[in-house]
Amino acid sequence: MFENKGKTELSELGEFGLIEHLTRQVEIVQESTIKGVGDDAAVLDFSDKQTLVSTDILLENVHFDLRYSPLKHLGYKAVQVNLSDIYAMNGQPSQITVALGISSKFPLEAIEEIYEGIHIACKKYKVDLVGGDTSSSAQGLVISVTSIGYVDPEKVVYRSGAKEGDLLCVSGDLGGAYTGLQLLEREKQIFLENPQIQPDLEGKDYIVERQLKPEARKDIIELLQKLELLPTAMIDVSDGLASEIFHICKSSNVGCRIYEDKIPIDPMTYDTSREFGLDPTICALNGGEDYELLFTIPQSQYDKIKTVLADVSIIGHITEKKSGIDMVSKSGNIHPLKAQGWSAFKKYEESNSNDSAEKK
Amino acid sequence: MFENKGKTELSELGEFGLIEHLTRQVEIVQESTIKGVGDDAAVLDFSDKQTLVSTDILLENVHFDLRYSPLKHLGYKAVQVNLSDIYAMNGQPSQITVALGISSKFPLEAIEEIYEGIHIACKKYKVDLVGGDTSSSAQGLVISVTSIGYVDPEKVVYRSGAKEGDLLCVSGDLGGAYTGLQLLEREKQIFLENPQIQPDLEGKDYIVERQLKPEARKDIIELLQKLELLPTAMIDVSDGLASEIFHICKSSNVGCRIYEDKIPIDPMTYDTSREFGLDPTICALNGGEDYELLFTIPQSQYDKIKTVLADVSIIGHITEKKSGIDMVSKSGNIHPLKAQGWSAFKKYEESNSNDSAEKK
């Protein structure tokens, strides 16, 4: 839970002092960074590569709850969410900028914690923090990160290249971040009702981390490169598997069939979602925030992908558009998939109960 | 004042529908935009140019007040603020991304107005909207824009190149945006006390526009190019002239002397600030948000700059560092300048009264 550890008033530093203070430890590691923090704009040089740019915004009480999101993790996550988009283009992230809106009630130490998480993520992923804007916020905390990266023009992977017959693959496992969120929300309620009771997250580290401290799949991009395997389409799983499948199918003008029993779900995700009376498959399809990579490859590349089935699951295949977007359930029934996106959590209850009813 | 004109609920569209709806009119005009909205990241190609990136964040009730900021102007301003940073590097902005946090109480029509302002700015400045993130906000409205641009590596202008003897120049006039803000704040108070009274801004269009609808000085960059005049240092005036002079002097390791009677102040700014009992010079030094360009040129280039003195004022010159950063007042006294930045408006009252006392 968030505690007010320090008490240096922001006004003691002023805006310029603050930016200098927060970025003094930045060490430029990317060759493409000509000038980072400290001028009107960052100056970058990508020579013969194409430039990739992606922006995300995280808002207090929408994307995170300070009652259970440690500030350091929040800074870390804000970066990961963005790097994930660059990897999803088969690119290498190289720089980020950070725009922060912070309540003036926050002490300097709180902002330092956010930046510590940002710095750790930058260091680990070899990304330069090259600029940003810090402002006091009249309301809650806002973090908007823009990531910049580069890609060989021959190797950029869009959402639009999936072809009939391609295999649909996803890295890691799904539904963990959403299930972790349910756990954190339950413990928050218990804490609010009785602040004496400490949160009980024992043995649930994995799914709590999936929610609070996700990792962008740089390793998968490196793996694909090592296998000399260029996906035909790729997207990161931020809004849930179903949504992302819809994006690929729509952009590529194709249909898709996936198999419920092929969707990778960690045993802890499975058991915990069951504890909450939730269908683990629905958590994977609509939960979101897993930041795995979903991609399609030609069937001819099966021999390559089969060597890495510990890291990547083949969950279905691309069909012609008129076949629609379907899931074959464990019992062999064919369901049309539904994209959810924004209203996922609202519609979730309905689809969950429908689905459960059908499966019983 | 802001009125709720429409009533299309955001949830009717969903996130993806919303993004598609808001960006359907985007027409790509920049050669460097390979792929804009519609994938995980935008793909850009700057070949032999260097890439410029800058981010700003605008927060409700900190940077704007919806009671007098029309949403369309707000979208327009959010873009201008960012383009200004790219011009300040002597670059050409070519793309932007927009991250928006919006209360779910906002109808679609309100967001459309914000985007209309964004689209108008993009069209006018030939900039492509290539990505972004739209999210519901549990609190106020948040707009974070990242601008991307390019520059010939030989022509990039940093803050750090000012040399002793250089002339200090500024485009346009200063203090207008801050004085316009005072006017809007006064009318807001009157309106809040008596909603029957309509705001009286007659004849004050110029300074109200300076506040609500600033223009980045693309024309000045073009002018400098036409004159074949490469500044030694440059910055945009977002926090007030004093702050920006400090930035240039600190980055360039020099001092500076400016002359109060050379600071360009529009007669309407002058008269209105007097009406409010404010010193026009202080409004120019510390008011901020003018988005003019402040730059230094070698004295040898005086013959070039003197041909454009309708657009650019020479307000002082660069000195050696140990001479400090001074202003020669109209009465001939020498004041050390003070940088203000964030806390400008708090400290403003003090410095204003000090200064006035000294001058009388």
B7 falls in which pLDDT band (50, 70, 90)? low
Distance, in Å, from the CA atom of A356 to the CA atom of A350, rounded to the nearest integer, reads: 10
Would A10-151 and A167-359 be classified into the same CATH topology? no
pLDDT greater than 70 at residue A244: yes
- Could you tell me the two tokens for B236? 């945009």
Q: What is the pLDDT of residue A7?
A: 61
Identify the three-state secondary structure at position A179.
helix
Q: What CATH number should be reported for the domain whose range is A167-359?
A: 3.90.650.10
Neighbours of B331 (CB within 10 A): 10
**B326 contacts: CB under 8 Å, gap ≥ 6:** B255, B256, B257, B258, B334, B335, B336, B337
Q: Burial code of A130-163, b = ≥16 C-beta within 10 A, e = fewer? A: bbbbbbbbebbbbbbbbbbbbbeeeebbbbbbbe
pLDDT in tens, A96-139: 999 999 887 788 888 889 999 999 999 999 999 888 788 888 87
**Chain centre to alpha carbon of residue B221:** 15
Record: contact A51-B136, CB cut-off 8 A:
no
| E strand or H helix at B177 | helix B176-193
- The one-letter amino acid code at A261 reads D
Record: contact B86-A136, CB cut-off 8 A:
no
For residue A15, the chain B residue with the least C-alpha distance is B342
For residue B155, the chain A residue with the least C-alpha distance is A43
CATH superfamily of A10-151: PurM-like, N-terminal domain (3.30.1330.10)
Distance, in Å, from the CA atom of A30 to the CA atom of A149, rounded to the nearest integer, reads: 10
Question: Contacts of residue A137 in chain B, CB cutoff 8 Å?
Answer: 59, 62
pLDDT greater than 80 at residue B59: yes
pLDDT greater than 70 at residue A210: yes
Q: Quote the percentage of chain B above a pLDDT of 70.
A: 88
B116 falls in which pLDDT band (50, 70, 90)? very high
**B316 contacts: CB under 8 Å, gap ≥ 6:** B167, B168, B256, B257, B258, B259, B262, B327
Q: Of A328, A234, A348, give the one whose Cα is nearest residue A288.
A: A348
- Could you tell me the two tokens for A232? 């035909």
Record: contact A53-B41, CB cut-off 8 A:
yes
Residues B307/B240, Cβ–Cβ less than 8 Å: no
pLDDT in tens, A152-162: 989 999 999 99
Record: contact A52-B43, CB cut-off 8 A:
yes
**ipTM associated with this complex:** 0.84
Across all residues in chain A, what is the average pLDDT? Answer: 87
- Between the CA of residue B314 and those of A308, B173, B245, B277, what are the distances in Å? 66, 12, 13, 27
Mean pLDDT of B84-113: 89
Nearest 10 degrees: Cα torsion A41, B283, B215, A147: 30
Residues A78/A118, Cβ–Cβ less than 8 Å: yes
Q: Which of B53, B90, B236 to mutate to test the interface with A (most CBs of A within 10 A)?
A: B53
pLDDT greater than 50 at residue B349: no
Residues B215/B305, Cβ–Cβ less than 8 Å: no
Q: Report the range of poorest mean pLDDT among A206-215, B245-254, B272-281, B336-345.
A: B336-345
Q: Which of A50, A148, A247 is facing B45, going by the closest CB pair?
A: A50
Distance, in Å, from the CA atom of A282 to the CA atom of A354, rounded to the nearest integer, reads: 11
Q: Which fold has domain B167-353?
A: Phosphoribosyl-aminoimidazole Synthetase; Chain A, domain 2 (3.90.650)
> Domain spans of chain B?
10-151, 167-353
Record: contact B39-A140, CB cut-off 8 A:
no
Distance, in Å, from the CA atom of B197 to the CA atom of A253, rounded to the nearest integer, reads: 57
Q: Of B237, B243, B253, B236, give the one whose Cα is nearest residue B318.
A: B253
Record: contact A86-B133, CB cut-off 8 A:
no
Burial class (CB in 10 A: 0-12, 13-18, 19+), A278: buried
pLDDT greater than 80 at residue A198: no
pLDDT in tens, A301-314: 999 999 999 999 99
Q: Which of A13, A30, A58, A144 to mutate to test the interface with B (most CBs of B within 10 A)?
A: A144
Smallest CA–CA distance, residue B211 to chain A, in Å, is: 18
pLDDT greater than 80 at residue B342: no
- Could you tell me the two tokens for A210? 């999936």
Q: What is the pLDDT of residue A14?
A: 64
Comparing A187 with A344, the larger pLDDT belongs to A187
Record: contact A341-B16, CB cut-off 8 A:
yes
pLDDT in tens, A162-196: 999 999 999 999 999 999 999 999 988 888 888 88
pLDDT greater than 50 at residue B200: yes
Record: contact A41-B98, CB cut-off 8 A:
no
Q: Of A208, A214, A44, A37, give the one whose Cα is nearest residue A121.
A: A214
Q: What is the pLDDT of residue B39?
A: 78
pLDDT in tens, A247-278: 999 999 999 999 999 999 999 999 999 999 99
**Chain centre to alpha carbon of residue A58:** 12
Identify the three-state secondary structure at position A25.
coil
